[in-house]
A = this chain, B = another copy of it.
Amino acid sequence: MALIVHKYGGTSMGSTERIRNVAKRVAKWSRAGHQMVVVPSAMSGETNRLLGLAKELAPGRSDDDHNRELDMLAATGEQASSALLAIALQAEGVQAVSYAGWQVQVKTDSAFTKARIESIDDARVRGDLEAGKVVVITGFQGVDEAGNITTLGRGGSDTSAVAIAAAMKAHECLIYTDVDGVYTTDPRVEPDARRLSTVSFEEMLEMASLGSKVLQIRSVEFAGKYKVPLRVLSSFTPWDIDLQEEAKSGTLITFEEDENMEQAVVSGIAFNRDEAKISVLGVPDKPGIAYNILGAVADANVEVDVIIQNLSKDGRTDFSFTVHRNDYAKTVDLLKDKVLPTLGASDIVGDTKICKVSIVGIGMRSHVGVASKMFRVLSEEGINIQMISTSEIKTSVVIDEKYMELAVRALHKAFDLDQPAS
């Protein structure tokens, strides 16, 4: 008997039939003696429907007053699905009650449409759990100091579930989703990709930030900060499968290195096709280059990922970085208009046909030669590396987009990711 948090995504809540299945699954856990807190997303499509109406009324607007109202509007989707789930649970003969974020004091800052959770007051929830009730709490939303409704941004229900699990010191937070766990790489690219039964928090963080969109990255950060055991598992298994089996399915994201973890040096191959490369050529090599170039980019609210400054030659250097493809044109224009004239650089060139491929593994901390093995494998396949970026548990390379599948498959095989864990 433990306190368990379940989170169900919009697809799992997509119809009354599916909501009924969620209720049956939760009822099974409750009847097994667990104290259950459930965090559902809005029914799939609902948030888009609501925001679509707002867009019809005020296209292109995004000031603070407007965003406050968007949050007021979007928050209704989760409130409705939470009430529906409580109703479905009651119909299954389980006592249940639903709460909006403000009712259990999910306190956030006031950054409307992308607020951050600051605290949760769990007294009311504990009272209900003690009384034998299943507690449904709206995901995605909270309330600021002034009593305004806030939302956490897309995917925010994951973060809500983790924050609630952290505040309540839950035994485990189970994220039910439309994938059945975290894989060594995307199975659509490498059919031999294998589901990981455990993955470390740091690896998950790198994989999430590299485009493995299993979990919202902020939910993983939150889980890491508060050491919430987090499990990603499928909501499409039959609701009545054996509870012990279900409790061990999917992928567990762990925080303790001495746990019985898979001993592979590299846990997964991540990739990202959403970036573009920009190079500023012939920059006079003097202090302040990086700031002059990237300061202007940051002021335009463009996020920069990989950054490379070449060795200087004849007092001049080349400076390259990657941005999201959507920001590519805007960034090139900005540099040409504002930076090129004052910096005395010779030219701006760019390439949108690139991709980033990364090997991720907590074992890389204590193993030397992992990066060089990566470079060797790519060289053997005749793939030219354009940029390199490393961290403690990750090595990323930027390569020509057309080699992406080849690189992922070669690395997956070279690091034995197609073999069952020892």
- Return the CB mask of A94-128 against B: 1 if under 8 Å, else 0: 01111010110000000000000000000000000
- Taking Cβ atoms with an 8 Å cutoff, the residues of A that contact B are 16, 19-20, 23, 50, 53-54, 56-58, 61, 65-66, 68-70, 72-73, 75-77, 79-80, 82-84, 86-88, 90-91, 95-98, 100, 102-103, 147-149
Is A83 a contact of B90 with CB atoms below 8 Å? no
Interfacial chain B residues near A90, Cβ < 8 Å: 58, 61, 65-66, 69
> When chains A and B are docked, how far (Å) is the Cα of A393 from the Cα of B65?
50
> When chains A and B are docked, how far (Å) is the Cα of A77 from the Cα of B149?
16
The 6 closest A-B pairs by CB, nearest first: A73-B83, A76-B76, A72-B83, A58-B91, A16-B56, A57-B88
> When chains A and B are docked, how far (Å) is the Cα of A154 from the Cα of B307?
61
Is A91 a contact of B16 with CB atoms below 8 Å? no
B20, B69, B76, B98: the one within 8 Å of A87 (CB): B69
- Sample of 16 further A-B pairs with CB below 8 A, known A23-B57, A50-B80: A16-B57, A19-B57, A54-B83, A57-B91, A58-B88, A61-B90, A65-B95, A66-B90, A69-B83, A69-B87, A69-B90, A73-B87, A76-B76, A76-B80, A103-B147, A103-B148
Is A98 a contact of B80 with CB atoms below 8 Å? no
Interfacial chain B residues near A58, Cβ < 8 Å: 87-88, 90-91
Is B98 a contact of A83 with CB atoms below 8 Å? no
Is A61 a contact of B103 with CB atoms below 8 Å? no
Is B65 a contact of A97 with CB atoms below 8 Å? yes
> When chains A and B are docked, how far (Å) is the Cα of A85 from the Cα of B77?
17
Is B149 a contact of A57 with CB atoms below 8 Å? no
Is A86 a contact of B61 with CB atoms below 8 Å? no
Is B95 a contact of A20 with CB atoms below 8 Å? no
Interface pairs (30), CB distance under 8 Å: A19-B57, A20-B57, A23-B57, A53-B84, A54-B84, A54-B87, A57-B84, A57-B88, A58-B90, A58-B91, A65-B90, A65-B97, A66-B87, A68-B97, A69-B86, A69-B87, A69-B96, A69-B97, A70-B87, A72-B86, A72-B98, A73-B83, A75-B79, A76-B76, A76-B77, A76-B80, A76-B83, A79-B79, A100-B149, A103-B147
Interfacial chain B residues near A103, Cβ < 8 Å: 147-148
Interfacial chain B residues near A95, Cβ < 8 Å: 65
> When chains A and B are docked, how far (Å) is the Cα of A72 from the Cα of B98?
8
> When chains A and B are docked, how far (Å) is the Cα of A236 from the Cα of B193?
62
Interfacial chain B residues near A53, Cβ < 8 Å: 16, 84
Interfacial chain B residues near A86, Cβ < 8 Å: 69, 72
